[in-house]
Chains A and B, each alone.
Chain A
Amino acid sequence: MALKLSDYKTEVHNDWCPGCGDFGILNAIQMALSEMGIQKHRAVIFSGIGCSGKTPHFINTYGIHTLHGRVLPFSQGAKLCNPELEVIAVGGDGDGLGIGAGHFVSAGRRNVDMLYIIFNNGVYGLTKGQASPTLKLGLKTKSLPLPNSNNSVNPLALAAVSGFTFIARGYSYDVRHLKDLIKQGIAHKGLAYLDVLQPCPTYNDINTREWYQGSDNLDPETGKQIPRTYKLEGAGYDGIVHLEDEADSKMSNAILKSYEWGKKIPIGIFYQNEMVPTYEERIASKIPDYVKDPPSSQRVSLTDGRSNSDISNLLDILRVSS
């Protein structure tokens, strides 16, 4: 039976603020799952804490709403024990780049075959708008008593140097484009990072939908708004590594591109390299049966309850008498 978009929706009341950018991301995830025909029980959406953390409850697949900052280790543990699962991790910018930044870097080093989406709005929304790690230095949103004293982290560059092998950015109000990026991130072999620019209509009055649409960015000749976001694929940019020896230069390009901000903000795929072995492949090089018989599928006991594991060889090494 073909799966419809509505099959991926739950009846749970969605309590995000009206106009929240999260809705676009939620829709794009559901559309991607539906278009890819991923069976509901094969997908697991993991989330961190915050507004974005509620996402799994609105999606009719397995949904694991974890702890603040810990979505990556929870989800990697599940994926590595059952590589058959289609795992998507979602979380906010504070969740992934503040409290969870250590996991972000370490996940990159592993390159587990899954997708991680950060809902990036520059503020901690659910705790009423404190500055997040991606809010630019000196900005003062209406929720802040004083301007932000911290410099911002560049998640795309951080993903690149940490070892993520697919690095992309989407915009939550360009749902169709975002959906395509999610599909590419799911299809990617390795760890995919998708940064989604997502206006918080309640607390971030600087990076608003209107700001992204260019309300203050007028064409001097026509007087029309020039949207800030533009698509990399339409600008002749190719971040995909086709040959091993171009990996370094493509990564340098991606990092350079990731610093473009202000009047022009690129979205699309910054970098992709499928030649790096996934963590699953690295395990399989040490445990040959790993792919065929991962931890979740191994039988622990025989029908009579006796252990299926036989450690006689190890006990024999310790034996001092027969």
Chain B
Amino acid sequence: MSLTNKVKNSLNWLIGGAQGSGVDSAANIFSRACAEGGLQVFGKREYYSNIKGEHSYFTVRISEREIRSHVDEISMLVSFDAETLLRHAGSVVKGGGIVYDSELVDVKIGEVPTLDDAFRDRLVGLLEGEGKPLTVQGILDYASDNDVSLFSIPYFQLLEEFSTKAEDHSLSKLSRMVNVMSLSSSMALLGFPFETLGSAIRYIFRSKPKIAELNVMAANYAYEYARTHHDASGLAFSLTTKKPLPDVILVQGNQSSALGKLTAGCKFQTYYPITPASDDSEFLEANAIVPQAEGKDGSILVLQTEDEIAAITMAIGGALTGARSATATSGPGFSLMTEALGWAGMNEVPIVVSLYQRTGPATGLPTRHEQGDLLFATKAGHGEFPRIVFASGDIEESYYDTIKVFNFAEKFQMPVIHLLDKAIANSITTCKIFDQQRILIDRGLLMENVSDISPDLGHASHYRRFKLIRDNKNKNGNNNSDANYLISPRVLLGTENGIFWNTGDEHTEEGHITEDPEIRTAMMDKRMDKLRIAIEQIRDEDKATLYGIDEPDSLTVISWGSTKGAILDAMDRLIDEGKKIRFVQLRLLNPFPIERVRTLIGDHKQLVDIEMNYSSQLGLLISENIGISMDHLIVKYNGRPISSSEVYNALVRIILREAPRRIILKHGA
């Protein structure tokens, strides 16, 4: 294959290695280099619940056009250990390439202790079936048979030579740069200019300039070796730089919502360590001092608590003083928070819970992905109380959504569960720089002074936190009472003449305990009525968004959360092939936007629900609220995020009428 026929600037690159061996750094350098080179990037990280030694890998997809998801097919596999080859070499596509350590070819499958037994059995079955030896060479032969180019790099020899050249004889220290050398070799083979790679290395190691320069030199050494010792003409992929679009950032999903919190004016975040949510809090703590438009510095107080019960209850305490307050957790932690969530609902306290979902139940697959907590988030807690459940679909969205959810919490005076997940948290993407002024701050009926409360919202002389205020103008509510209730003005602890009481018991307008049946009914109506107000006030686009070709005979895909990218990318491909397809992305999941969803579904016949869980939880919610059931369910619950390849293939089967009602996706490594 000649160079001119190469697929330029569109590939899926994977680097793997033992946890702690620099896989992340290498992938971040690769992502940064491509982004600086004007290319679009989408990367995702997979890792075990382990500190050092188990296999981790990072795939980075590159394109000149917008990409929002990963794919299953690997174009370029980059490795410096045996396990990465054993696990991934079989997934490299025809025309792809593999960079590997020439010293590892004789490693036997049985000599890699960190392979799961089940995977080892599958691999042995594959190689035996193909008549290959049960070694690294066996899987490389298998790849080679599939027209994959093999590029061996003698890392140890290069390190020795480099050691002499750099006059640094600490080989054990230098050997830590093998990650950068493997990455750099792949860049040479793909034809990517070294200058941009060097700039990316310096960026990633910007806090350690000496180490940065050593890495640049080592990278250059490996780059030159690969360029001069290998013929890459059989490789079907190439990478070059182009003029970057203006104002692009490369951002990780564990930074975006945290950045949104800073813009939203979150002043207090509590957390108990848990994967994959801790990164959010740690980012905030590392950036606790926040410059203010008014000139002086502001700050966010981040506090690690003794457990998740303390995390949410401290956040509630903070919210009562007026600090915009949040906590970030994952499923196990959220389970512990549910009693306090009800207290916040009962006492109309605005708090935000960032729920980074992972595979459950119990400990589940603690570092893997799932969208298994949707129904739990919408129902969590005993008794009935109002809450907003809002789901972000991707990294960029999660920044803006985070500002919105703080507004929802304060406007509607209730807890908000912001659904995020492992797939978002451990992804990296290029996108337009965040616009800090797009979403304005709205604190609702927060009163700095009791005297600011207008007479129709309560008497200034006798403030009542839970004043029952009838909305006589609006009698079309859904609570069957004579009139609807308005939201009562909120004052903060410490406000003069604003004394109030809170209690988890049913309470009077002042906040004192009561068991009076009539007050109970009125207070339930007052609280639950805020869900109607929320439905009235939240914009349609924030309830659910429609994408694609909106025609009467279009296939309709319905989903929520981080499946968005895979669906959009698969949909683009199908539309390019002339298919009519539309996608309804649900964002507000409680209160359920019945009218909006009903309108978007309209008379469409072919409804396909795609979710990363076993039960098609959104499908159940739609069925519960609208009485419509889905024609097809595409589900995945093996802990690995859904890829656009999988969505594409499943939708093709449905379009060809070759699919069962429920399709279970299983790809993953």
A-to-B contact residues, CB < 8 Å = 10, 12, 40-42, 44, 46, 49, 54, 56-57, 60-67, 70, 72-82, 84-85, 102-103, 105-106, 283, 286-287, 289-290, 293-302, 304-315, 318-322
Contacts and interface: CB of A to CB of B under 8 A. Distances in A.
B494 A41 contact: yes
7 contacts: A41-B495, A74-B317, A80-B303, A82-B492, A309-B293, A310-B291, A314-B262
Task: Give the top 4 A-B pairs by smallest Cβ distance, nearest first.
Answer: A77-B317, A300-B265, A77-B314, A305-B440
B268 A295 contact: yes
B289, B293, B437, B505 — which one has the most chain A CB atoms within 10 A of its CB? Answer: B293
Contacts of B443: 300-301
A162 to B, nearest CB: 11
Given A309-B262, A318-B255, A298 B299 contact: yes
B318 A81 contact: yes
Nearest to B465: A62
Nearest to B294: A308
A66 B305 CA distance: 18
Contacts of B290: 309-311
A70 B263 contact: no
Interface stretch (B165-173, B319-327, B477-485, B558-566): B319-327
B383 to A, nearest CB: 13
B298 A308 contact: yes
Contact of B494 (A42, A54, A315, A321): A42
Contacts of A62: 493-494, 499-501
B262 to A, nearest CB: 5
B512 interface: yes
A293 to B, nearest CB: 7
B647 to A, nearest CB: 28
Nearest to A71: B313
A310 to B, nearest CB: 5
A73 B495 contact: no
A77 B351 CA distance: 12
Contact of A301 (B36, B297, B441): B441
Given A81-B323, A103-B310, A307-B436, A41 B497 contact: yes
Contact of A287 (B301, B343, B430, B501): B301
Interface stretch (B57-65, B244-252, B352-360): B244-252
Interface string B278-306: 00000000011111111011111101011
B499 A41 contact: yes
A290, A295, A315 — which one has the most chain B CB atoms within 10 A of its CB? Answer: A295
Contact of A321 (B246, B309, B440, B511): B246
Nearest to B249: A318
Contacts of B595: none
Nearest to A76: B314
A61, A63, A297, A314 — which one has the most chain B CB atoms within 10 A of its CB? Answer: A314
A313 to B, nearest CB: 7
B440 A306 contact: yes
A70 B437 CA distance: 38
A62 B292 CA distance: 31
B499 A40 contact: yes
Contacts of B468: none
B322, B440, B503 — which one has the most chain A CB atoms within 10 A of its CB? Answer: B503
Contacts of B441: 300-301, 305-307
Contacts of B315: 77
B297 to A, nearest CB: 6
Contact of B249 (A57, A105, A315): A315
A314 B317 CA distance: 29
A57 B501 contact: yes
B265 A320 contact: no
A41 B305 contact: no
Interface in B29-71: 32, 35-36, 38
A306 to B, nearest CB: 5
Given A62-B499, A300-B443, A305-B441, 8 more contacts: A44-B494, A63-B501, A64-B493, A65-B503, A82-B322, A283-B301, A290-B299, A318-B433
